Structure 1
Amino acid sequence: MNTPHPIPVDGLVPPPGCPAHGMAQSGLVRLPEITDPARTYEGLRRQYGPVAPVLLHGDIPAWMVLGYRENLEVMRTPKLFSRDSRRWNAFIENRVPAESPLMPMVGWQPLCVFADGAEHARLRGAIVDGLSQFNRRGMRKYVTHYTRQLVAGFAADGTADLVRNYAEPLPMLVVSRLLGMTPDKGPLLVEPTLDLVRGSETAAASNAVVTQVLQELVAYKRTAPGDDLASRLILHSSRLTDTEVIEHLRLTLVAAHQGTVNLIAHTLRLILTDRRFRGNLSGGHMTLPDALEQVMWDNPSIATIPGRWATSDTTIGGQHVRKGDLLMLCIAAANVDPEQRPDLGVPMHGNRSHLALSAGPHECPGGDIGRAIADTGIDELTSILPDMALAVPETEIGITSNWLTTRPDALPVRFTPPRSLGDLHPVNGAPPAAQPLPAAAAQGPLPARPPGAVAARRRSWWRSLLSR
């Protein structure tokens, strides 16, 4: 270690082999209990440099990669830092129980994110080809359709929580349909998917719920394929097994939903609280994509990516990493690395060199889908409710943090209800027809609103479901 007498940092303690490891039993907060991620990351950077020792659930040691250059090195060097979690010392030594909240995220599965080389190329190729069918025009119609449906559920009240009522359900409604699910499934998967990423004690149970829905979807699409991601994966030339199809659908669902929820929530918070951005957006001096890019620098949707596993003993960031050690890629810390951004006050408009979508062979293949959902959704929302304003002081906006992500707790707003709520809602307060809607259909017209649709204060179908 490059620090002879390390001082414990809030939320993190050194792993075995570090002189301060004995302090791990003194009741210090572990990684899952971090309450102030930014402060913790900078404390670690000052103490250890660009790579720091941490403890995960169950006091299992790992390395947190904080530096921008070091993150790129790990991302772009799969021969030294593998994605195959079966290499992990903790797995080999049976130190991770089956019920551990780490398992849904790091337990090996037949997925492209846990593969290297030719196998990675085979699996990733199927995902890339499957996602390529969703063009931006089709995406806009889906997002506009569901944005209007969601707003109709709360607009009459003149108040809403934009996290709970909008940012959380919108991506799931859109992505679940792209996967080929019926309209009733999306709302049921919002909370299990969020819980899965939190690393909570119920993460394994939530993972089982999501997996069960996907198993049923794949079984159905085997007999009735359509123009959706599930069918594309089943029929792809890579000849994926049912298990591989299910796991890649789960990966896409969880990553696209969680990532887009956080992107929408952070961008809405920025627009509502930062006068520079609010004024520029309304005045036309800065585009919404610029605001989204700024958020991807300052508040990446996935703050920490687990992980990479060292294929041999090596040195990175001044730390000696053993073969089989786990490295956590801290994107949030890398994006504000003082070497990369010495002045955090300088806007990053037009600069896409952030690591919010990772880099190298495992760069996120669905980044454009998340951007399209957030861009279109926020644009449509602010058009429908142009006078939205926070209903609480900015200082009262809390931040939800877990071992992988951060986002606003809630965004309570007030606004003038639209004059004609019926014009927002394409269906009479009920879910769309319970049958698959092929992705190709998103490029055609949306269902027409029947006469007398949605009375002024009627709750939407999804809101009623979530309140239950």
Structure 2
Amino acid sequence: MTYSVPASGYPPPATPPDTGGPRIALYSEAYAADPQRIHAEMRARHPSLAAVELAPGIPATLVIAYDTARAILHDPDRFPADPRRWQRSIPPQCPILPMTEWRPNALRSSGFDHYHYRQPTTAALAGIDMFALHASVETIAMGLIETFGEQGEADLIGDYAHPLAFAVLNSLLGCPPEIGQQVAAGVRAMFDAGADAGHGSALFERALADLVALKRVTPNDDVTSRMLAHPVELTDTAVAQQLATIYAAGIEPLVYLIANTLLLMLTDERFGGHLLGGSLLTRNALDEVLFRNPPLANYCISYPRHPVLIEGVLLPANQPVVISMAACNADPAISSGGDYSANASHLAFSAGPHRCPAADVSYLIAVDAIDQLLDALPDMRLRGTPGELRWRPGPFHRALTELPVIFPELTPVPQK
């Protein structure tokens, strides 16, 4: 992979880079329905890069080659994560702005600021007791399964994956349910990048400010309290912004990591014997989803300060460069031949200085959630066919609208 910065004074292009075709709308129903087909069409025009739109009239470059993505992710000097120069030209009502705008947190910062914000976050996450987390996931999972187990049917997203991720994350962050409900509603609106995205962002930020204020007065052994107590001494606003990153990565992506893995296990005959396979087979399925169908499909956004020539394409200054984890993982140049078990070379958790610091936590929650469900409902199967399922449009996520299943009703446990 080669790139260079043009000589000083080179006029930055006003349009997206020319990769041999029209801009592809990542927010469209067509892209949501079959992104890998569209990735293949992009790759036929240019092996590494594609001109896309993140929202109507919002151009970006999508990186679809694995090696190119890794080089960019490990080069924060040329590809910084700070969007403020780009943001000046974006209308405030732009639906993707809540997911891309500058915030004083590690995800949207570079250099010293990134280090300053990331330290308390990684330290607070490192304090999570993984054994206690396992027990917490088991308890929450069984409580949810009991609520729908006698009905013989469920939507595994609305009835299981979403409330489970929501409850587990609230427990880890010390967030009471009344604040957590506002957080969850705000995150969903932001990921959908629709008309309600701005309202969702405002709701999200108010809820996080309330959580930080609560923990400042009544600290406990939780991520928020540990972050507030860190020697870096972040302000309340800065702590709320670090929590924003944790929540954004810990609700929607975790929900659809669980859901996309369950879909694979319910529809692929290789996983038909999941009850005999137990956690090992669950981990194999998770690894495959992280490669082939990651819930955060396109993200890890950077904003070159100067025009950059990369793979024969001139990337404009101050326009988003978006990593397509889904396309890069499927890059024929690094194909693993279909064996994804115990393979962590995927980009689902990003790479370089911005790699997700909670990857191990997310993985443990997903494995435990799936195993608890399959152990409790061994005869569960998809209601309808895979072709009847619908995917939520949006430029960033890979998310089903629902995952309906049927199963023999659970026998109620007699009360003592």
Q: Same fold (TM over 0.5)?
A: yes
Distance 1:419 1:126 in 2: 47
| Partner in structure 2 of residue 174 of structure 1 | 168
Give 2:6's aligned residue: none
Distance 1:393 1:60, change over 3 A: closer
User: Where do 1:60-71 residues align within 5 Å?
Assistant: 60-71=58-69
Which of 306, 324, 330 aligns to 1:330? It is 324
Q: How many residues align?
A: 400
Given that residues 167 and 261 in structure 1 are in contact (C-alpha distance below 8 angstroms), is that contact kept between their aligned partners in structure 2?
A: yes
Task: Measure the CA separation in 1 of the matches of 2:350 and 2:336.
Answer: 21
Written as runs of structure 1 = structure 2, the 5 A alignment for 1:108-119 is: 108-119=102-113
**Structure 1 stretch displaced more, 292-301 or 314-323:** 314-323
Displacement of 1:221 in angstroms is 1.2
Q: 1:38 — aligned with what?
A: 36
Aligned: 1:390 with 2:385: no
The answer to whether the 8 A contact 1:193-1:206 is kept is yes
Does residue 367 of structure 1 match 2:365? Answer: no
Deviations 1:175-210 (A, max 9, x none): 012111113444454333222111111011011112
| Cα distance in structure 2, aligned partners of 1:142 and 1:368 | 16
Q: Distance in 2 between matches of 1:400 and 1:55?
A: 17
Q: Which runs of structure 2 are paired with 1:92-107 in the superposition (5 Å)?
A: 92=88, 94=89, 96-107=90-101
Residue in structure 2 matched with residue 351 of structure 1 by the alignment = 343
CA contact (8 A) 2:186 2:203 kept: yes
Q: Return the letter of the residue paired with 2:100.
A: V
| 1:255-270 alignment, distance < 5 Å | 255-270=249-264
- Tell me the amino acid that sits aligned with residue 59 of structure 2: P
Q: Please give the root-mean-square deviation of Cα atoms over the aligned residues, in Å.
A: 2.2
The Cα offsets for residues 433-455 of structure 1, whole Å up to 9 and x where unpaired, read as xxxxxxxxxxxxxxxxxx66xxx
CA displacement at 1:18 relative to structure 2: 4.4
Partner of 2:194: 200
Contact 2:19–2:313 at 8 Å: present in 1 too? no
* 2:122/2:357 contact within 8 Å kept: yes
Mapped to 1, the partners of 2:161 and 2:125 lie a distance apart of: 22
- 1:141 counterpart = 2:135: yes
Distance 1:137 1:106 in 2: 35
1:292 aligns with 2:272: no
2:40 maps to 1:52: no
Aligned counterpart, 1:303: 297
TM-aligned CA deviation for residue 59 of structure 1: 0.9
2:224 aligns to what?
A: 230
Partner SS state of residue 104, structure 1: helix
SS in 2 for 1:408: coil
AA at the equivalent of 1:365: P
The aligned residue for residue 11 of structure 2 is none
* 1:130 corresponding residue in structure 2: 124
The alpha-carbon deviation at position 80 of structure 1 amounts to 0.8
Kindly provide the amino acid, as one letter, of the partner of residue 349 in structure 1. S
Pairing partner for 2:334 from 340, 343, 366: 340
Does the Cα contact within 8 Å between 2:128 and 2:223 map onto a contact in 1?
Answer: no
SS of 2:302's partner is: strand
Label 1:159 to 1:421 Cα distance change in 2 as closer, same or farther (>3 A): farther
The structural deviation recorded for 1:30 is 2.7
- Quote how far apart the aligned CAs of 1:106 are: 1.3
Identity within the alignment, %: 31
* 1:71-91: CA deviation from partner (whole Å, max 9, x where unpaired): 001100011100111132xx3
C-alpha separation in 2, matches of 1:201 and 1:285: 40
Shift of 1:16: 5.0
CA contact (8 A) 2:297 2:324 kept: yes
Q: What displacement does 1:145 show? A: 1.3
- Give, in angstroms, the shift of residue 420 of structure 1: 2.7
The aligned counterpart of 2:80 is: 82
Which range moved further: 393-402 or 110-119? 393-402
Q: Is the 8 A contact 1:83 1:115 kept in 2?
A: yes
Indicate conservation of the 8 Å contact 2:179/2:210, yes or no.
Answer: no
If you compute each CA radius of gyration, which structure gives the higher value, 1 or 2?
1
Partner of 1:405: 397
- TM-score scaled by structure 1? 0.81
Q: Which amino acid aligns with 1:156?
A: E
Residues 155 and 421 of structure 1 are in contact (CA less than 8 Å); yes or no, is this contact kept in structure 2?
no
Aligned AA (2:343): N
Give the conservation status (yes or no) of the 8 Å contact 2:156–2:405: yes
| Match for residue 215 of structure 2 among 209, 218, 221 | 221
Taking structure 2 as the reference length, the TM-score comes to 0.90
Moved more, 260-269 or 386-395: 386-395
2:185 paired residue among 181, 191, 194: 191
Shift of the 170–255 alpha-carbon distance from structure 1 to 2, 3 Å rule, reads same
Contact 1:51 1:318 in 2 (8 A): no
